[in-house]
Amino acid sequence: MKAFEKLIDGSGARRPSDYVCARAAVTGSEQITVPAGATHVVLSGTLPFHVAFGANPTATVPADTDDGTANELVNPATPVESRTFMVAGVAKIAVAAASATLVTASFYSS
């Protein structure tokens, strides 16, 4: 697994991952296992989706939620920084979307 590296020339370009997982036609919660040694993941999709992290997470498309338990929204149109997460010590990632979407998880090490 390649290290997570970004150019410091202002372009924000990152090294391509050599470990990418995908989930096709995601609507209900689907899990992606974080590979051993991974420290970062860049998430992307064809449409916005929700994400949860943990030992056995479940992602949902939330209704109105005021108790802090809603899942984070990932919008693929946002910069890569807002779709990059630290996953050291995380076993799995769960994704869910309101409409069928393709989700990719590009993993990196330190």
pLDDT at 51: 97
Kindly list the averaged pLDDT for each block of 10 residues, start to end, along the chain of length 110: 77 86 94 97 96 96 90 94 95 97 95
CATH fold of 20-108 reads Jelly Rolls (2.60.120)
Cα(79)–Cα(94) distance, rounded to whole angstroms?
A: 21
SS3 assignment, position 107? strand
Query: Domain extents for the chain?
Result: 20-108
Nearest one of 72, 81, 71, 74 to 102, comparing CA atoms: 74
pLDDT at 93: 98
Entry pTM: 0.90
